């Protein structure tokens, strides 16, 4: 955690870094420095310090558990607990809205709590129709707990229950997957201590590329929600049809109305004169996916990228993505031509050997498999994958062997995302579509390529 915030730590500060298993020593040290050394002490804890974090331990060390009142030390020394964003919230936002109704959080780590207790909690929660958030699912040395938890869940939950998996939420190398309970074991190799698993309930659905749990509005209100087509980004869902109203018809009305609104927004955009008709269609899809017209100011099209993309799709060229979530969102009619290597065993080896992120190593593996040249490369999440694409092109120089036919770059974030996207824009004459600045993300990347696929198939 210190590494993640090192740029914010004053140079004059004394930094004490502990390791797993020394939390009590760190808490005592912090209290000692604050009280006896009269220093301002910051205890760094991941996520929210009060949720599986250090806040509780600090209070226990300061307090008097026997008297039930604040200890003298507590009265003499001020303590402030700063709220943070816990993994459940960060992961839920990346998945969609899976925690819109009641949910429970449970950690599979048995370092401090006996597994027998965790097992009882899991069994009780599995019997309830409630969304379950799982922290600390697996480590290098602790693998059996996740398998046992899976067995419990399968005993009491529907095998087709929607499950969300988020690794490195809101960090470099973030991975997001939506699957089902029965298919969860296929992702064991990707799960570690930086992974959060969200097990849905009977009210949880996968809508396009998003996971959502119903709050209960459908029981009280009659509201229309659009049908989700495979090529859409999953922003709407239709309820059971009313008498005389077809399920698809209701969805199509919403979809057509939305497209008309977006077309009007794009046509009135002051910079639209510089966009071709095809580019306007792609730009409109991005606006639709984000429900935000300001993306029109951020989109850059260089060297006729839409026309290039259409030719690639018609010619059956491959699409290489940086993360599985981008791959999962691409129109199913083209899914056999989409590959992502972020979780390939060779990628893991390359990442270790070359000290690369997994996403960058995945791009390098695609290059080694000769899948970069002449194909479409989509970077929806990872700035380091953008950097790797640029490095491959620069290394190739005049050689055509390293050059993708089209690059779509929409990584989101405040660290290197904007810089790497500018680097993509400077890659000579390679066609590209880029969302400038720190904004973007997987929905934008998926929207761009899905619109190109749709145009190509018409």
Number of Cβ within 10 Å of residue 83's Cβ equals 10
**DSSP H helical ranges for 355-414:** 358-368, 383-396
Sign of CA dihedral 146, 149, 154, 157: negative
What pLDDT does residue 180 have? Answer: 92
The two most distant CA atoms of the chain are separated, in Å, by: 77
Write the CATH number of the domain with boundaries 269-456: 3.40.50.10230
What pLDDT does residue 242 have? Answer: 34
Ramachandran angles phi, psi of 378, nearest 5°? -120, 120
Instruction: Give the separation between CA 336 and CA 417, rounded to whole angstroms.
Output: 29
Ramachandran angles phi, psi of 319, nearest 5°? -115, 125
Radius of gyration of the chain (CA): 25
What pLDDT does residue 299 have? Answer: 95
Q: In angstroms, what CA-CA distances link 395 with 80, 171, 356, 406, 441?
A: 51, 28, 17, 17, 27
| Domain chopping of the chain, boundaries | 2-76, 87-210, 269-456
Give the chain's length.
458
**What crossing angle do the helices spanning 383-396 and 358-368 adopt, rounded to 10°?**
30
* Domain made up of 87-210: CATH architecture: 2-Layer Sandwich (3.30)
Ramachandran angles phi, psi of 241, nearest 5°? -70, 145
Number of Cβ within 10 Å of residue 396's Cβ equals 15
Quick one: tokens of 367? 């290059």
What pLDDT does residue 73 have? Answer: 53
Instruction: Give the separation between CA 284 and CA 265, rounded to whole angstroms.
Output: 8
- pTM for this predicted structure: 0.52
The pLDDT tens digits along the chain (458 residues) read 777 777 788 888 888 887 777 888 888 888 888 877 778 888 888 888 889 888 888 888 886 544 445 555 555 678 888 888 899 999 999 999 999 999 999 999 988 899 999 999 999 999 998 999 999 998 877 878 888 899 899 989 998 999 999 998 888 778 899 999 988 888 888 888 999 999 999 999 998 889 999 988 777 766 555 444 433 333 333 333 333 333 334 434 555 677 788 888 888 876 655 888 899 999 999 998 887 899 999 999 999 999 999 999 999 999 999 988 788 778 878 888 999 998 899 999 999 999 999 999 999 999 999 999 999 999 998 999 999 999 988 876 545 567 999 999 999 888 899 999 999 999 889 999 999 999 988 889 999 999 999 999 87
């Amino acid at each position: 955690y210190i590494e993640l915030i090192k740029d914010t730590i004053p140079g004059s500060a004394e930094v004490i870094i502990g390791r797993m298993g020394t939390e009590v020593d760190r808490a005592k040290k912090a209290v000692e420095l604050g009280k006896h050394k009269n220093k301002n002490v910051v205890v760094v804890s991941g996520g929210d310090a009060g949720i599986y974090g250090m806040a509780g331990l600090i209070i226990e060390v300061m307090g008097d558990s026997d008297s039930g009142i604040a200890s003298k030390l507590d009265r003499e020394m001020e303590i402030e607990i700063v709220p943070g964003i816990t993994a459940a919230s960060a992961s839920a936002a990346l998945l969609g809205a899976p925690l819109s109704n009641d949910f429970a959080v449970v950690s599979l780590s048995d370092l401090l709590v006996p597994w027998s207790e965790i097992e009882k909690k899991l069994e009780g929660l599995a019997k309830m129709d409630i969304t379950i958030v799982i922290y600390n699912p697996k480590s290098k040395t602790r693998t059996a707990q996740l398998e046992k938890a899976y067995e419990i869940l399968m005993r009491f939950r529907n095998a087709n229950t929607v499950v969300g998996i988020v690794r490195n939420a809101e960090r470099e190398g973030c991975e997001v997957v939506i699957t089902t309970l029965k298919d969860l074991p296929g992702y064991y190799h990707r799960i570690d201590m930086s992974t959060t698993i969200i097990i849905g309930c009977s009210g949880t659905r996968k809508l396009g590329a998003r996971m959502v749990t119903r709050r209960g509005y459908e029981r009280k209100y009659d509201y229309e929600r659009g049908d989700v087509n495979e090529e859409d980004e999953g922003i709407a869902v239709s309820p059971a049809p009313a008498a005389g109203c077809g399920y698809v018809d209701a969805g199509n009305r919403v979809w057509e109305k939305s497209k008309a609104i977006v077309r009007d927004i794009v046509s009135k955009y002051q910079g639209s004169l510089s966009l071709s008709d095809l580019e306007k269609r792609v730009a409109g899809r991005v606006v639709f996916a984000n429900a935000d017209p300001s993306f029109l100011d951020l989109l850059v099209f260089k060297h006729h990228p839409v026309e290039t993309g259409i030719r690639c799709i018609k010619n059956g060229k491959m699409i290489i993505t940086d993360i599985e979530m981008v791959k999962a969102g691409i129109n199913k009619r083209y899914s056999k031509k989409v590959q992502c290597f972020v979780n390939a065993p060779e990628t893991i080896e390359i990442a270790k050997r070359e000290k690369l992120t997994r996403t960058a190593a995945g791009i390098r593996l695609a290059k080694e498999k000769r899948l970069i040249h002449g194909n479409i490369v989509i970077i929806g999440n990872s700035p380091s994958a953008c950097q790797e694409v640029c490095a491959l092109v620069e290394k190739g120089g005049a050689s055509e062997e390293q050059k993708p036919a089209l690059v779509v770059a929409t990584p989101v974030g405040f660290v290197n995302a904007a810089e790497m996207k500018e680097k993509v824009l400077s890659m000579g004459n390679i066609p590209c579509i880029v969302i400038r600045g720190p904004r973007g993300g997987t929905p934008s990347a998926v929207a761009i390529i899905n619109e190109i696929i749709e145009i190509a198939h018409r």
